[in-house]
Amino acid sequence: MKYFLLLFFFFSCVIVARGQTESPLENVVITSKKKKTQVRTNENGELHVNVSPKDVLKFKAIGLVHYSDFGASGDGKTDDIDAIAAAHAFANQHGLLVKAEEGATYYIGGKERTAVIRTDTDFGTAAFIIDDTEVQNRSASIFMVSSSLRPFKLEGISSLKRNQEKIDVSLPGSCLVTVTNSHVKHYIRFGLNQNNGSPQTDIFVVDKNGNVDMDGPIIWDFDQITDITALPLDETTLNITGGRFTTIANKAESKYTYYSRNITIRRSNVLMDGLEHRVTGEGDHGAPYGGFINIRDCAYVTVKNTILTGHKTYRTIGSAGKPVSMGTYDISVNRVLNVSFVSCSQTNDINDRTYWGILGSNYCKNLVYDYCTFSRFDAHKGVANATIRNSTLGHMGINAIGSGVLTVENTTIRGRSLINLRSDYGSTWQGELVIRNCVFVPAGGRPTSASLIGGSNSGQHDFGYTCYMPERITIETLHIDDSNHSEDYQGPAIFTNFNPQMTDDSYQEKFPYVRTREIVLRNVTTASGKALRLSDNPFLFKDVKVDTD
């Protein structure tokens, strides 16, 4: 009995934890000494959290903590980020729910401090004011949704093939695999934001026996591999609910210094439900944002019933030395699989061109919009399979390059094209487009010469890969509202003029652009009464088979 009491005293008085990982984000020391519960910061910025033994027992008994338990005032004026981070650090250690106080307003100033979320969190109706006017580190997230599982290197795999069904590994469970070949460059961007490309990369899910989930297949041949890493997938769902967030926008110089004062999700199997994010204080200049919801290096994430805000568009000088509009996002999705946005919308007018499109994505597979009202869908460095259904898209419409099947159904699109294949990455889609039961309002109803599939490719630029038009395009029940048009309007075209210089066989492409093979049209109608045409440049598409009803 005496030894039992001594052990109890030892563990209750000297519980010290420096977070769940070696990540500097969790620069937190937690103790349980016979003092009051308090949070302080030492001279190195390290957060010291003491939780009294009595409070430890109380919090564990009720299964949750509040921010006020760690000193948050919730008055909208006092900076509460240390208390918020401390509450999550303690909750992570003991597997407790974190709950914000109803009606509280938490002010978060410019201090560099990230609260790491590893347990269910209920922001409820609480408000969070994130002040970006004076920030120590613009790249530091406010919240990081993180996994306690750690990535590890895979050994013995020297190459991979496109659509390979199995890799020769034995794993502790299902994992997200990220593979890179730094000797090959892809996405060598063309235009005003030109660059030298990015290392060849891919992500996919495998089970414990190395079987690849073919819903998100390997999309490249890797002749060499310079890095291959496996991250175990969390099996339980982490839930984040509620929250009324407002960002006071930065007033920095308008250049590509992205702000990431956000909620970053780097854990698989996450459900975010009922969050709201608004932006205030935007002036005539400012730096762009990298996504208030930033999802990266994970799989199986759903964001639902969420309201977001498009950011004001600012201009700067691009890499080609000419003025460009800067992309700025409230949603950013990078290197992820199976991410869905369900019943989401934005606070500002989706047709207001002074605000940039709300989503940017790279290296993704199986992205879904369902019952969303957003200014755009966008895939920069490729998406493998995407679905947009039951939605309305505004002035920036659908912009994509990638592979697999891009499906758009029961959706209204108000962009310049029904689908724009991004010309800065070669207007490539290696696969199929399927459009069903949609309404297309070209340029949001402004006078324009309408085309369904937009893009351009001169055949003179090396993007790092062969560029393809969609091999097959199927359009079933589409109404084109082209009622507002000029007098010389000839009717909508299926394709825009992808290469005005290529009008006969004398034009030579250094990097041939593979054309569409087949188009299936069923029940396509126009408000103007004019028939659907192939293109203003019929030579480009002379070998396309068009199957009409």
| pLDDT computed for residue 133 by the predictor | 97
How far apart CA 386 and CA 13 sit, in angstroms, is 53
How far apart CA 267 and CA 258 sit, in angstroms, is 22
DSSP string, 313-363: P-EEE-TTSSEEEPP-EEEEEEEEEEEEEES-EESS-TT-TTB--SEEEEE
Number of residues assigned to the chain: 549
Evaluate whether 425 touches 186 at the Cβ level (below 8 Å): no
Instruction: Give the tokens for residue 481.
Output: 């509202």
| pLDDT computed for residue 374 by the predictor | 98
CA distances from 116 to 65, 138, 148, 280, 325 (A): 14, 17, 11, 25, 33
Residue type, 443: A
| pLDDT computed for residue 25 by the predictor | 55
Instruction: Give the tokens for residue 304.
Output: 């639902």
How far apart CA 53 and CA 156 sit, in angstroms, is 49
Average pLDDT, the chain: 93
Instruction: Give the tokens for residue 347.
Output: 């606070």
Q: What is the 3-state secondary structure (H, E, C) of 239-308?
A: EEEEEEEEEECCCCCCCCCCECCCEEECCCCEEEECCEEEEECCCCCCCCEEEEEEEEEEEEEEEECCEE
| pLDDT computed for residue 7 by the predictor | 39
Which ranges of 33-174 does DSSP label H, i.e. alpha helix? Answer: 53-62, 81-94
CA distances from 407 to 19, 24, 284, 436 (A): 43, 41, 38, 8
DSSP class of residue 369 equals: E
Kindly give the parts of the chain with pLDDT less than 50. Answer: 1-24
How far apart CA 193 and CA 191 sit, in angstroms, is 5
| pLDDT computed for residue 15 by the predictor | 37
Evaluate whether 49 touches 68 at the Cβ level (below 8 Å): no
Cβ contacts of residue 433 below 8 Å, gap of 6+? 405, 406, 408, 419, 453, 470, 472, 473, 474
CA torsion sign for 208, 210, 211, 212 is: positive
| pLDDT computed for residue 485 by the predictor | 81
Q: Which helix (H) or strand (E) holds 387?
A: strand 381-389
pLDDT digits (tens, 9 = 90+) for 411-462: 999 999 999 999 999 999 999 999 999 999 999 999 888 999 999 999 999 9
Where would I find the beta strands (DSSP E) of 6-74?
Answer: 28-31, 38-41, 47-50, 64-66
| pLDDT computed for residue 24 by the predictor | 44
Q: What are phi and psi of 192, to 5 degrees?
A: -70, -20
| pLDDT computed for residue 484 by the predictor | 87
Beta bridge partners of 229: 153, 178
